[in-house]
Amino acid sequence: SGSVKMPVRKLSVYDAPFVNEIINDPITHLSSRHWLLENCMDISFDKNLITEIYESHIKSQNFNRKRIMILEFSRYLENYLWKYFNIQNCDEAHVLSIVILIAEKARSKISPWACFIEKNQFVDFFFVKLYETALNQSLSHNEQRYI
Protein backbone atom coordinates (compact mmCIF):
# COMPACT_ATOMS: atom_id res chain seq x y z
CA SER A 1 0.00 0.00 0.00
CA GLY A 2 0.99 3.69 -0.26
CA SER A 3 3.22 5.41 2.23
CA VAL A 4 1.82 8.00 4.57
CA LYS A 5 3.20 11.49 4.08
CA MET A 6 3.89 13.41 7.23
CA PRO A 7 2.80 17.05 7.25
CA VAL A 8 5.61 19.52 6.83
CA ARG A 9 5.56 22.50 9.15
CA LYS A 10 5.86 25.71 7.20
CA LEU A 11 7.49 28.78 8.63
CA SER A 12 4.96 31.13 10.09
CA VAL A 13 4.33 34.42 8.34
CA TYR A 14 4.31 35.85 11.86
CA ASP A 15 7.96 35.18 12.67
CA ALA A 16 9.46 37.59 15.14
CA PRO A 17 11.48 40.49 13.80
CA PHE A 18 15.26 40.20 13.72
CA VAL A 19 17.31 42.22 16.19
CA ASN A 20 18.54 44.59 13.48
CA GLU A 21 14.93 45.18 12.39
CA ILE A 22 14.01 46.11 15.96
CA ILE A 23 17.03 48.39 16.39
CA ASN A 24 16.39 50.24 13.12
CA ASP A 25 12.63 50.47 13.45
CA PRO A 26 11.00 53.92 13.86
CA ILE A 27 9.01 52.53 16.81
CA THR A 28 12.25 51.79 18.65
CA HIS A 29 13.36 55.38 18.14
CA LEU A 30 10.00 56.68 19.40
CA SER A 31 10.07 54.35 22.38
CA SER A 32 13.58 55.39 23.38
CA ARG A 33 12.41 59.01 23.53
CA HIS A 34 9.06 58.44 25.24
CA TRP A 35 8.79 55.26 27.31
CA LEU A 36 11.50 52.64 26.93
CA LEU A 37 14.30 53.97 29.10
CA GLU A 38 14.22 54.79 32.80
CA ASN A 39 14.99 58.46 32.18
CA CYS A 40 11.92 58.72 29.92
CA MET A 41 9.52 58.06 32.77
CA ASP A 42 9.25 61.75 33.60
CA ILE A 43 8.39 62.85 30.07
CA SER A 44 4.89 64.26 29.90
CA PHE A 45 2.11 62.37 28.22
CA ASP A 46 1.24 63.16 24.59
CA LYS A 47 -2.20 61.93 23.55
CA ASN A 48 -1.34 62.66 19.91
CA LEU A 49 1.58 60.23 20.06
CA ILE A 50 -0.79 57.32 20.74
CA THR A 51 -3.00 58.35 17.82
CA GLU A 52 0.06 58.75 15.58
CA ILE A 53 1.42 55.32 16.51
CA TYR A 54 -1.99 53.71 16.08
CA GLU A 55 -2.65 55.32 12.69
CA SER A 56 0.89 55.16 11.26
CA HIS A 57 2.33 51.98 12.74
CA ILE A 58 -0.67 49.74 13.40
CA LYS A 59 -3.75 50.56 11.32
CA SER A 60 -2.06 51.81 8.13
CA GLN A 61 0.30 48.80 8.27
CA ASN A 62 -2.76 46.50 8.21
CA PHE A 63 -2.10 45.36 11.81
CA ASN A 64 1.23 43.87 10.80
CA ARG A 65 2.35 41.39 13.46
CA LYS A 66 6.00 42.43 13.32
CA ARG A 67 5.02 46.05 13.97
CA ILE A 68 2.88 44.97 16.92
CA MET A 69 5.65 42.71 18.23
CA ILE A 70 8.10 45.60 18.18
CA LEU A 71 5.62 47.69 20.17
CA GLU A 72 5.29 44.80 22.63
CA PHE A 73 9.07 44.38 22.94
CA SER A 74 9.33 48.09 23.76
CA ARG A 75 6.90 47.72 26.70
CA TYR A 76 4.52 50.21 25.11
CA LEU A 77 1.54 48.77 26.99
CA GLU A 78 3.13 48.92 30.43
CA ASN A 79 5.20 52.08 30.16
CA TYR A 80 2.91 54.32 28.14
CA LEU A 81 -0.55 53.08 27.19
CA TRP A 82 -1.66 51.79 30.56
CA LYS A 83 0.47 54.18 32.59
CA TYR A 84 -1.44 57.15 31.16
CA PHE A 85 -4.88 55.58 30.69
CA ASN A 86 -7.51 57.45 32.71
CA ILE A 87 -10.83 59.25 32.32
CA GLN A 88 -9.19 62.12 30.40
CA ASN A 89 -6.96 59.90 28.23
CA CYS A 90 -9.15 57.18 26.80
CA ASP A 91 -9.91 57.82 23.15
CA GLU A 92 -10.55 55.05 20.64
CA ALA A 93 -6.94 54.79 19.45
CA HIS A 94 -5.81 54.44 23.07
CA VAL A 95 -8.35 51.70 23.85
CA LEU A 96 -7.68 49.80 20.62
CA SER A 97 -3.91 50.03 21.14
CA ILE A 98 -4.28 48.52 24.61
CA VAL A 99 -6.46 45.68 23.27
CA ILE A 100 -4.02 44.94 20.44
CA LEU A 101 -1.05 44.81 22.83
CA ILE A 102 -2.98 42.57 25.24
CA ALA A 103 -3.72 40.21 22.35
CA GLU A 104 -0.06 40.19 21.30
CA LYS A 105 1.08 39.38 24.82
CA ALA A 106 -1.45 36.55 25.07
CA ARG A 107 -0.42 35.23 21.64
CA SER A 108 3.20 35.27 22.80
CA LYS A 109 2.22 33.44 26.00
CA ILE A 110 3.13 36.43 28.17
CA SER A 111 0.71 37.37 30.92
CA PRO A 112 -0.89 40.62 29.78
CA TRP A 113 -2.46 41.47 33.13
CA ALA A 114 0.50 42.46 35.34
CA CYS A 115 0.26 46.17 34.56
CA PHE A 116 -3.48 46.10 35.25
CA ILE A 117 -2.88 44.58 38.68
CA GLU A 118 -0.23 47.17 39.55
CA LYS A 119 -2.40 50.12 38.46
CA ASN A 120 -5.96 48.90 38.81
CA GLN A 121 -7.99 52.03 39.53
CA PHE A 122 -9.09 52.37 35.87
CA VAL A 123 -9.63 48.70 34.95
CA ASP A 124 -13.42 48.94 35.26
CA PHE A 125 -13.43 52.15 33.25
CA PHE A 126 -11.26 50.52 30.58
CA PHE A 127 -13.79 47.73 30.08
CA VAL A 128 -16.62 50.28 29.82
CA LYS A 129 -14.63 52.12 27.11
CA LEU A 130 -13.86 48.82 25.40
CA TYR A 131 -17.58 47.98 25.33
CA GLU A 132 -18.37 51.42 23.88
CA THR A 133 -15.65 50.95 21.28
CA ALA A 134 -16.99 47.51 20.37
CA LEU A 135 -20.37 49.08 19.60
CA ASN A 136 -18.82 51.50 17.10
CA GLN A 137 -20.04 50.25 13.75
CA SER A 138 -17.44 52.20 11.81
CA LEU A 139 -14.59 49.99 13.05
CA SER A 140 -12.75 48.03 10.38
CA HIS A 141 -12.86 44.25 10.29
CA ASN A 142 -9.31 44.10 11.70
CA GLU A 143 -10.25 46.38 14.59
CA GLN A 144 -13.34 44.31 15.36
CA ARG A 145 -11.26 41.14 15.26
CA TYR A 146 -9.10 42.37 18.14
CA ILE A 147 -12.09 43.31 20.26
Distance CA 79, CA 61 (A): 23
To the nearest whole number, what is the mean pLDDT of the chain? 89
Question: 16, exposed or middle or buried, with CB in 10 Å at 0-12, 13-18, 19+?
Answer: middle
Using 50, 70 and 90 to split pLDDT, how confident is the model at 36?
Answer: confident
pTM listed for this prediction: 0.86
**Amino acid identity, position 101:** L
With a pLDDT cut of 70, the percent of the chain lying above it is: 87
The pLDDT of residue 14 is 57
DSSP track, 45-113: P-HHHHHHHIIIIIITTTT-HHHHHHHHHTTHIIIIITTT-SSSS--HHHHHHHHHHHHHHHHTT--S-
